[in-house]
Amino acid sequence: MLTGLHIVFLGGDARHLEIIRSFTDLDANVAVIGYEDLHEQLHEVQHSKLTREVLRKADVLILPVVGTDDHGRVESSFSAETLLLDKEYMSCLPKHAKVYTGIAKPYLRNLCAELGIDLIELFSRDDVAIYNSIPTAEGALMMAIQHTDITIHGSRCMVLGLGRIGLTLAGMLLRLGAHVKAGVQKPEQFARAWEMGIEPFYTKDLYDEGVNVDIIFNTVPAHILTSHVLTRIPHHAIIIDLASKPGGTDFRFAEKRGIKALLAPSLPGLVAPRTAGRILATLLMSIDSGRTKSKSRDTFFSFRDMRSRTLHNES
């Protein structure tokens, strides 16, 4: 139980609604900021403006997946107001308070470091990132199906990057019967791709490898699909760029060549917000007086138990 714990949500999207419900079920005191345009009712939740008073009471401050932009602005899917988290507001947090986000930009990292506030970036944890790769990969497949006139089965797919998302996505494509090749940078990734039945190549050879492909999924957060590389990509091919903004594709040149290229960051919050929210809630549910457990085994069993409770409640 989280009785007596004061948790403040500043901004967020549909994923955060699942986290809010989980915390109120555990008897936490929850305040939300930037939710005035939400069309559904949140029970046992305090709706608030961004004020010093509400932050002074916070044991935990939960921000959106991308905590702030480079100037301290916080995004909310449920508000048209500008939420600005500056030094004046952050200094109101109690010394013991912790700030949680998915990925922090330098602005937020520097601000927390200056004020001596603990900042926890959830997506830096392997377990969370692997769980989160599932809705990301499913969302990418959904986009591929929507924007092509061929089946995934039998298609020629290229996955750039075999990190946590790339591995999950490549595995799904294989199981659907696609012919999969993967661009990697390290010998161990090359070996892993070969072991999985994927045709591996090094990304330095991307120019030569892009000739015969139907769908390209990019997970590399670097400018990898350059204009030079795109001159070799077939006109009928589609690019689904999963890297964070601005992506790894020269979108202007792709459009000029008639290649459909789609930037698709933050897919979990768009295609499966409830599941993505449960994943984040699972880790955050291990908060004990503002501290999180570090053992991934605890997180796994918590995730399983939470999922069972949710299915039971829905039946």
What are the tens digits of pLDDT across the range 274-295? 888 888 888 787 644 344 333 3
The alpha-helical segments, DSSP class H, found in 60-163 are: 87-90, 106-115, 126-146
Rounded Cα distance, 142 and 128, in Å: 22
* CATH H superfamily, domain 6-124: NAD(P)-binding Rossmann-like Domain (3.40.50.720)
Q: Percent of the chain scored above 70 by pLDDT?
A: 90
Token pair listed for 240: 């689904």
Instruction: Say which CATH architecture domain 128-269 belongs to.
Output: 3-Layer(aba) Sandwich (3.40)
| Cα 30 from Cα 87, distance rounded (Å) | 23
Mean pLDDT over residues 110-132, rounded?
Answer: 91
pLDDT value of position 82:
92
List the one residue out of 257, 303, 249 whose CA is nearest residue 280: 303
Same fold, 6-124 and 128-269: yes
Distance CA(148)–CA(175), nearest Å, equals 19
Residue 286, pLDDT score: 62
- Residue 67, classed as helix, strand or coil, is coil
Could you tell me the residue ranges of all domains in the chain? 6-124, 128-269
Task: Report whether pLDDT(300) > 50.
Answer: no
